[in-house]
Amino acid sequence: MKYEQLAREILDNIGGTENINSVFHCITRLRFKLKNESIANTEKIKSLDGVISVLQSGGQYQVVIGNNVPDVYKAVLEVGGISAEGSNEGEGGGGNIFNRFIDMISGVFTPVLGVLAATGMIKGFAAMCLAFHWLTETSGTYQLLAAIGDCLFYFFPIFLGYTAMKKFGGNIFIGMAIGASLVYPTLAGIMAGKPLYVLFSGTVFESPIHITFLGIPVILMSYASSVIPIIVATWFGSKVEKILKKMIPDVVKTFLVPFFTLLIVVPITFLVIGPIATWAGHLLGAGTLWVYNLSPIIAGLLLGGFWQVFVIFGLHWGLLPIAINNIATVGGDPILAMTFGASFAQIGAVLAVLIKSKNQQLKSISVPAFISGIFGVTEPAIYGVTLPLKKPFIISCIGGAVGGAIIGVAGSKSYIIGGLGIFGIPSFIGKGEPIGTAFWAVMVGIVVSFVLSFILAYLFGFKDPVNASSEKPIIQEGETLIERETLVSPVTGIVKALGDVKDEAFSSEALGKGIAILPTEGKIFAPASGTVTTMFPTGHAIGITTNDGAEVLIHIGMDTVQLEGQYFTAHVKQGDKIEQGQLLSEFDIPAIQAAGYDITTPVVVTNTEKYLDILVVDEKNIKEGNRLITLVI
């Protein structure tokens, strides 16, 4: 498992699995709910290879990983013996009301966010096809695209019934059943008929009554695409379910608990929770629009400027349900629309750093950060580039603020919750509406955000960090480098750059800097004198601590641990003292290759951070015993 070691180190330093209430992940972060955050070794976790940063916000302990977070999350579950189904259950309880609210919202929406973005992108593409007259509304192609795009949002209560009930610690299928009842097609058809009578006539709460339940009037509403009613209903349902579990005997609990839960919760939802929550949603939508209309420019400056700060602390989750509610109740949302330029401002600053910096390490971080930022995932850019440099981050906030003001003053709205970054552009095209000023204002806003941040960051944005490989001063004696140690090649073969290794743990230098060799002879010799600190039982990997303190890992082949020692013969054991050039292991190259394994052998210095520089040979072929790596003070 590629991320097993990282997962193990995170769990060890977070206080172990016994300190975890729950864990889930979003696009770039592991989000832990810890029993006691104070015992977590935050500084140690921040220093781990593969961890970008650690944040404590919204009642969550957030470990920022980046684009590989799904794989790390899977490793955390496997290493910690944590159930994926149970990793996000329960309401938690730590922190103040605001923190618990943010935690609840993120827990409910995170699992469905990817599919919500995907269907939104398809819906936006379908709207774009209509706007540019590529398709007609009656064409089969458009109707099928519209079905894919609308499927999740129309049946949103069912999906949220699942995620919300999971978050609240109840039976997820009861949550789905509650959600399904809210979008039951027959009830929607009843609403089209003539009402029996009207309640609250002449008020803002005027409601036609079409049916009654045990003589009690039922206020039918359209719950398709709604958010607040199902979240409140599932919360209530989880409480009812817990009470019933205590009352009903175990022998009939399996079916009687859901029976009575649904029989109680669904009618109360239609009679009380649904109407009140819907009215509250309409008031929330009207309230946010009222605040926005006070001054769209100021609203755009504030939201666009502080959006990335919200992302850092996880506070952006509080705006997501408001945006979804606005789309469902008033047809469009200007709130998140004003934040759209922020990610483009971020990558504008990153591009300036990438072009101007001479620091190779910073450049290597900036490239993937820029690419992921194009698609709206800005955490790698924030934590890896702009925030550590400080000024570029501030400049990106300025760029986002200016873009937000442009979008705000134009009254632009997003009509769907679609993709991020460039994939979010179709979200601003309304179904059947012509592309007008509001849409082009969004385009102007993101261009201005990007260009302004790029120019300011390039001209004033940062002091280039010292480059460890070229600019950092190297202690010299005349023209000779003072060497800490020289490691010779442990094997004869063809030299390859570590970045060309297929295993990302090595190619990303997560395990340390070094080089790789494609062996032509099946013998491994000691690259220096020292002690064998690790000899894997399978014989495929050897760890050495040299007499001068270098920690060296020699890994024979990729995934060869699966051979379980077959074709490997170890000549030393853990704890043995060794001399440079001593035979450590033999392996059968033809047999390993015939079994389908790559025999590329990385040689890495795992305590790289202790050295000023790691210099590797630039030769294509090397013999055992020739100089391979030079460690410099």
Kindly report whether the global pTM for this prediction surpasses the value 0.85: no
Q: Which two tokens stand for residue 322?
A: 């408001």
Q: What is the CATH number of the domain that holds 613?
A: 2.70.70.10
Nearest alpha-carbon partner for 369 in 347, 398, 391, 392: 347
Judge whether 302 lies within some domain: yes
Please give the pLDDT value at position 91.
47
Q: Is the pLDDT of residue 209 over 80?
A: yes
Please give the pLDDT value at position 475.
39
Among residues 266, 291, 316, the one where a domain terminates is 291
474 pLDDT tier (thresholds 50, 70, 90): very low
Residues 310 and 182 in one domain: no
Please give the pLDDT value at position 473.
37
Please give the pLDDT value at position 314.
60
Among residues 291, 306, 335, the one where a domain terminates is 291
Q: Is 540 a catalytic residue?
A: no
Judge whether 109 lies within some domain: no
The percentage of residues in the chain with a pLDDT greater than 70, rounded to a whole number, is 90
pLDDT (tens digit per residue) in 570-603: 999 888 999 999 999 999 999 999 888 899 999 9
Residues 299 and 442 in one domain: yes
Residues 435 and 491 in one domain: no
**Mean confidence (pLDDT) of the chain:** 84
Judge whether 493 lies within some domain: yes
Residues 193 and 269 in one domain: yes
DSSP string of 215-252?
TEEE-----TT--HHHHHHHHHHHHHHHHHHHHS-HHH
Which residue among the candidates 26, 210, 316, 397 is catalytic per the annotation? 26
Judge whether 138 lies within some domain: no
What is the mean predicted confidence (pLDDT) over 360-366? 78
Q: Is the pLDDT of residue 447 over 90?
A: yes
Residues 495 and 451 in one domain: no
476 pLDDT tier (thresholds 50, 70, 90): very low
The percentage of residues in the chain with a pLDDT greater than 90, rounded to a whole number, is 31
What is the mean predicted confidence (pLDDT) over 291-310? 87
pLDDT (tens digit per residue) in 78-133: 888 887 654 544 444 455 565 666 667 767 877 887 787 788 788 888 888 888 88
How many domains, the chain? Answer: 4
Judge whether 95 lies within some domain: no
Residues 484 and 578 in one domain: yes
Which residue among the candidates 25, 210, 316, 555 is catalytic per the annotation? 555
Please give the pLDDT value at position 1.
53
180 pLDDT tier (thresholds 50, 70, 90): very high
Please give the pLDDT value at position 469.
38
Which of the residue ranges 174-178, 203-207, 468-472, 504-508 would you say has the lowest mean pLDDT? 468-472
pLDDT (tens digit per residue) in 372-431: 788 877 877 887 788 878 889 999 999 999 999 999 999 899 888 777 788 888 889 887
Q: Which residue has the tokens 């309401």?
A: 91
Judge whether 96 lies within some domain: no
Domain that holds residue 404: 295-460
What is the mean predicted confidence (pLDDT) over 194-204? 81
Residues 436 and 553 in one domain: no
Residues 531 and 507 in one domain: yes
Q: Where are the alpha helices (DSSP H) in 59-96?
A: 69-80
Among residues 431, 460, 489, the one where a domain terminates is 460
Please give the pLDDT value at position 341.
92
CA angle 272, 278, 280 (to 5 degrees): 100
Q: Is the pLDDT of residue 8 over 80?
A: yes
Q: Is the pLDDT of residue 56 over 60?
A: yes
Q: What is the CATH number of the domain that holds 72?
A: 3.30.1360.60
Residues 455 and 306 in one domain: yes
Number of H helices, E strands in the chain: 21, 24
Q: Which residues of 514-542 are buried (b: 16+ CB within 10 A; e: fewer)?
A: bbbbbbeebbbbbbbebebeebbebbbbb
Cα–Cα distance list, 470 to 243, 285, 360 (Å): 67, 56, 8
Q: Which helix (H) or strand (E) holds 395?
A: helix 391-409
Judge whether 145 lies within some domain: no
Residues 397 and 305 in one domain: yes
H/E/C letters for each residue in 95-138? Answer: CCHHHHHHHHHHHHHHHHHHHHHHHHHHHHHHHHHHHCCCCCCC
Residues 390 and 280 in one domain: no
Residues 78 and 33 in one domain: yes
Q: Which two tokens stand for residue 349?
A: 């600053």
Q: Which helix (H) or strand (E) holds 53?
A: strand 53-57
Bigger pLDDT: 107 or 136? Answer: 136
pLDDT (tens digit per residue) in 516-553: 999 999 999 999 999 998 888 888 889 999 988 889 99
Please give the pLDDT value at position 88.
46
pLDDT (tens digit per residue) in 35-51: 888 899 988 898 888 88
Q: Is 555 a catalytic residue?
A: yes
Judge whether 135 lies within some domain: no
